[in-house]
Chains A and B, each alone.
Chain A
Amino acid sequence: MRMKMSPLSKLYVAFIMLLLYAPIVVMIVFSFNASASTSVMTGFSLKWYQSLLHDSATINALKNTLILAVSSSLIATVMGTAAAVGLNVFKNKFAKKTVMGVTNIPMMNPEIVTGISMMLLFVFCARLIGVTDALGFGTMLVAHVTFNLPYVILSVLPKLRQMDKYLPEAAMDLGCTPIQSFFKVTLPSISTGIVSGLMMSFTLSLDDFVISYFTQGPSFETLPIRIFSMTKKRVTPDMYALSTLIFVVILLLLVLLNVAQVRGEKKMHNKLNKGKRG
């Protein structure tokens, strides 16, 4: 059933990969350009990487992006996991359907609409309480938590459904309090879902431009916003150097995640085998 790829298939895969990676290769190559041109390669140099180190605005934006991504993904993961646990025991079909429907809205709505809808809310509330510069870290945090939440809920819920629902009850019969049983039984069995929700939120938040663009203020600039203002003018290769660095970091993260997944699966496999033997 699993076949070796035919030459034609290989050619096709190569074609799609070329399409996907051509712009990224261009970016990586020109980040090492000796001149400021982004279309003619004149020689190899690392000067754009050096100039990046001295660009305090960009470094500050990087710091802001990380602060925002870490805090928003953590908040979304805790709140989203709790929501999934609660939703999983909802008996009322209508209530469950309504909540899930609302949860789908940020995933289905165009980002620009999500962005402006929040901007309108923030601007309106700010005017109501008489604040002029309401947009900033706080509003961006709220926006990021909001668009991260559905991804956490939708990656935790299936794990809860797969779990044997009598396990937590058994733990309580054996003397655990409900909270202990949650931390000792439920949490370990849904941990893969929680981790993938967390990772997804983190990367989404790191990468988000559109929603951030409408909810940001001048006091708090993230990397995508900075890139946006840089691409308004003629761009020098230092932006490419920055993007190349981000690309490498993401590549490493994905490889690590993959390795962890393979390991996790192996562990599970071993456990199951042991269980059968013992």
Chain B
Amino acid sequence: MKKRSLGEKLVASPYIVWAAMFIIVPLIFVAYYSLTDANGNFTLEYIADIGRYKDVMLNSIWLGFIATVISLFLAYPLAYIMARSKANTQRTMMMLVMLPMWMNLLIRTYSMMILMQDTGVINSVLTALNLPNLHMINTQGAVVFGMVYNYIPYMILPLYNIMSKMDHSLIEAAEDLGGNKVTVFKDIILPLSMPGIASGFTMVFVPSVSTFYISKKLGGNTFSLIGDVIEMQFKSSNNYNLGAALSMVLMVLIIICMMVMNRFTGDDDDGGVLI
């Protein structure tokens, strides 16, 4: 028995070595690059440089936050409807929600651009209906819409997960005891779905804040997000040190946001709701 568990423990060692080499060490490199200059000498220059990008960062967080809140409001009723429907309907709807997620993000975003262009599909439809055209592309609104569209499945799935496990008799009991719809929602459904909200929130917020493709395509060159700035340092300006410093800040900001969110989830030893 003892011997067996030792052998079983050992089979985890390749992974542990791998994780150390390719998860931990790369993060150390991010820290290292952000604190050194191109010649490898210690400097705080790049960390100090971050102040220049304060507005970009605040704007990224703001747009990501709006996109996450909109996703939450759109996804919540859907998840509730899904969880309350028949098993077969649930399975089909689950598949319909997941399907666009497996489509490449680039293609989806590009199609959105086609939809929203000044001469795009939406405006053609509006013209055909004799309605005034809308200018959508290259605005912050378009970027937020792109984030919502691309990441809303990540909000729907954890919400649906938690709601389908919810004990319906609690809701019935509350109704029997005289609670109206608002009270039942506020006192039963909402508190019970909090862990789902928290994990959906992080799953939409993190990719929204750090995106660079969506803002590039739907925002044009009118403004940039933190992801755009980081991408530029690595792919065109070749300023790895500044890029690393910005990534450090992005990580810290996200950790802070997650810590705030984790206060809602409580203790969760394996962490995260797997989709």
Contact = CB atoms under 8 A, between A and B. Distances in A.
A38 interface: yes
Interface stretch (B26-34, B42-50, B176-184): B26-34
A244 to B, nearest CB: 9
A46 interface: no
B129 interface: no
A243 B207 contact: no
Interface residues of B, number: 88
A112 B102 contact: no
Contacts of A180: none
A172 B23 contact: no
B37 to A, nearest CB: 14
A24 B109 CA distance: 10
A154 B270 contact: yes
Interface stretch (A14-22, A50-58, A267-275): A14-22
Given A24-B108, A116-B234, A118-B22, A83 B15 contact: yes
B135 interface: no
Contacts of B120: 39
Given A39-B121, A87-B12, A118-B22, A231 B96 contact: no
A228 B153 CA distance: 23
B251 A149 contact: no
Contacts of A27: 107, 111, 114
B9 A90 contact: yes
B111 A2 contact: no
Interface string B69-89: 000001001100100111101
A262 B86 CA distance: 15
Contacts of B25: 121
A232 to B, nearest CB: 9
Given A24-B103, A254-B102, A16 B78 contact: yes
Contacts of B14: 79, 82-83
Contacts of B93: 13
A39 B247 contact: no
B29 A120 contact: yes
Given A83-B16, A116-B244, A120-B244, A178 B4 contact: yes
B272 A104 contact: yes
Contact of A38 (B9, B87, B114): B114
B11 A85 contact: yes
Nearest to B22: A146
Given A40-B124, A83-B12, A104 B271 contact: yes
Given A82-B11, A83-B12, A111-B207, A254 B95 contact: yes
Contact of B4 (A40, A172, A246): A172
Nearest to A87: B12
Nearest to A40: B124
A217 interface: no
A254 B42 CA distance: 51
A153 B11 CA distance: 13
Closest 6 A/B residue pairs (Cβ) = A86-B12, A83-B15, A110-B210, A117-B26, A23-B111, A82-B11
28 contacts: A1-B84, A9-B81, A12-B77, A16-B152, A27-B111, A39-B114, A39-B117, A83-B11, A83-B14, A83-B16, A89-B5, A100-B270, A102-B20, A104-B272, A105-B27, A108-B271, A108-B272, A112-B227, A112-B247, A113-B251, A123-B240, A145-B18, A153-B15, A243-B107, A247-B103, A250-B103, A254-B98, A254-B99
